Structure 1
Amino acid sequence: MIRVLLFFLIAATWSCEQGKELLNEGTEWQRQQNSNFKDASKSPLKKRDLKTFKSLDFFAFDSSFVVKSELKRTPDSEWFLMKTTTAEVSKERVYGVLNFKLKGEQFQLNVYQGEDMMDKEGYKDYLFLPFLDNTNGYDSYGGGRYIDLRIPLADTITIDFNKAYNPYCAYNEKYSCPIVPRVNHLDIAIEAGVKVFKKPNL
């Protein structure tokens, strides 16, 4: 009897530990993403998808996709209307060009500043980095992904591709999402960040 009770005690303890591990899986950023998606007040998911949602699908964290870039500011760039997935447009300008080395190759991306964001509390220094890469349409969302950045004091910005996320229209077509400019295509597979969203079978 004692052995049986001991067995169940060990099994229950192990089960609890496994549960804790599952809750603590991934990086802090990944856990925060999942938390936001599970929160009905924040989640972009449709109601039927939210009911069965457990976790976003992420590439495994890879430190080689955390790169330091040189920021070349473009203070005289003109404002333009960036197309979105709906009839809406977003007034943006190229804040600067990011030059960096990744996997031994040299790349550059335009980083954008939105006029609307400049007036929002907490977003005055916000920069928008949309990009396309060779995983799009396969392992990642076909329309590309985004990364949030902040205007630095110096002329360098760390780009963490592990924090690349899908636009909300990847989950729900009601959202209006900026279309990634073709100039921001990286001819490399960025196997980091959020993968394509696969709807659960109902």
Structure 2
Amino acid sequence: MHAETPNPTVAQDAYQQSIEKWRNKRIERLTAPEGWLSLIGLEWLQQGANKVGSAPDNHIVLQAGPAHLGVITLDKAGQVHIALTDGSGATVDGKAVREATLMDDAHVTGDASPTTVAFGTANFYVIDREGRKALRVRDSSAATRQHFLGIDYFPIDPSWRIVADWVPFNPPHDLQMGSVIGTIDIVKVPGKAVFTRDGHTYELLPYQEEPGGELFFVLADRTSGHETYGAARFLYAALSVNGKVVLDFNKAVNPPCAFTSYATCPLAPPENRLDLRITAGEKKYRGGH
């Protein structure tokens, strides 16, 4: 007896379903109360005392919360301290305290989260970007979350699930990554993914957001700024197996900056700007700012 050849339609349907399932999970994360759509502020701290609250006489005017939340002090050593106003109703990591030191996202250890100050449906924590400190403010009732318009996609196309060759770099290469807020990070690139499309060869350089983590590609292509978000799209891929990396461009996503002006996303480096139309993955957000 001849072995039955697998039915391509069944395989295609299964692939279609797997991408749809993946997209649903992506939207769940994006629209979660703590997701990117809940951002309502990115407020840079000045050295010394910063009065914080929703009233216009504060140094930092929040879009939510009590008129006078408290005073945040940034000292010369980069430590951040908060003194809450009596009756503010705010908590620090869930506790009703008067004063606290705020640990930022760059200096927490292990699985710890940065110190969170919560008030009503809103909260903030401190982020550190090259030594500059800012409050990342979220509100689960933010208009961007309440009025999310959904995501538009190119049609799911299995031909954009590409098995690329993986060329490791030993030692890793340095790559300069600019960001929308004008900072430049140097990231370590463990290797490059090399693939062909329509007879042309292309290369993409990833980095890892955490040691041993997935490959993270920040890329742009001929659709960028037209059908897709101009600054970049993001693509994650599993680590190489037997010298191969799977680049599934049906999973190319918009960066948080496509949905909110309060994120600090990386820009596609020149090395990852491809002379190719990648007609797969997420399109520009209709509710873009």
Alignment TM class, shorter chain as reference = 0.7 to 0.9
1:144 is matched with 232
Structure 1 residues 80 and 188: CA distance shift in structure 2, 3 A: closer
Structure 2 residue aligned with 1:103: 198
Which amino acid counterpart does residue 36 of structure 2 have in structure 1? S
Q: 1:85 aligns with which of 180, 183, 198?
A: 180
Distance 2:255 2:21 in 1: 20
Partner of 2:275: 187
Cα pair distance change 1:44/1:91, threshold 3 Å: farther
- The answer (yes or no) to whether the contact 1:45–1:171 under 8 Å persists in 2 is no
Q: TM-score, normalised by structure 2?
A: 0.54
AA aligned opposite 1:185: R
- Whether 2:289 is the aligned partner of 1:198: answer no
Letter of the 1:111 partner, please give it. Answer: P
Match of 1:74 among 169, 175, 179: 169
Q: Which has the larger share of strand?
A: 2
Deviation at 1:81, TM superposition (A): 4.6
- Point out which structure has higher relative CO (alpha carbons under 8 A, 6+ apart): 1
- 1:81–1:99: structure 2 CA closer, same or farther, 3 Å change rule? closer
> Equivalent residue for 1:42?
35
What is the rounded CA distance, in whole Å, between the counterparts of 2:275 and 2:175 in structure 1? 25
CA distances 1:116-161 after superposition (whole Å, capped 9, x unpaired): x11xxxxx23211111111111110011211012322421001000
1:159 corresponds to which of 223, 228, 247? 247
Q: After alignment, is 125-134 or 155-164 more displaced?
A: 125-134
Higher relative helix content: 1
Larger Rg over CA atoms: 2
Gaps of at least 5 residues in structure 2 are 1-16, 40-141
1:76 and 1:36 mapped to 2: Cα distance? Answer: 35
Q: Distance in 2 between matches of 1:80 and 1:97?
A: 12
- Report Cα offsets for 1:7-52 as digits up to 9, x if no partner: xxxxxxxxxxxxxxxxx9x711111122222222223355212212
* Residues 58-98 of structure 1 deviation map (CA, whole Å, 9 limit, x = unaligned): 11101111111000011223445522112444341221111
Match in the other structure for 2:54: none
Q: Is the 8 A contact 2:154 2:279 kept in 1?
A: yes
Structure 1 residues 111 and 49, CA gap change in structure 2 (3 angstroms): same
- Sequence identity percentage: 24
TM-score, normalised via structure 1 length: 0.75
Q: Is the 8 A contact 1:113 1:128 kept in 2?
A: yes
Comparing 68-77 with 88-97, which one deviates more in the overlay? 88-97
Whether the 8 Å contact between 2:161 and 2:247 is mirrored in structure 1 is yes
Structure 1 consecutive aligned stretches of length 4 or more whose deviation exceeds 4 Å: none
CA RMSD of aligned residues (A): 2.3
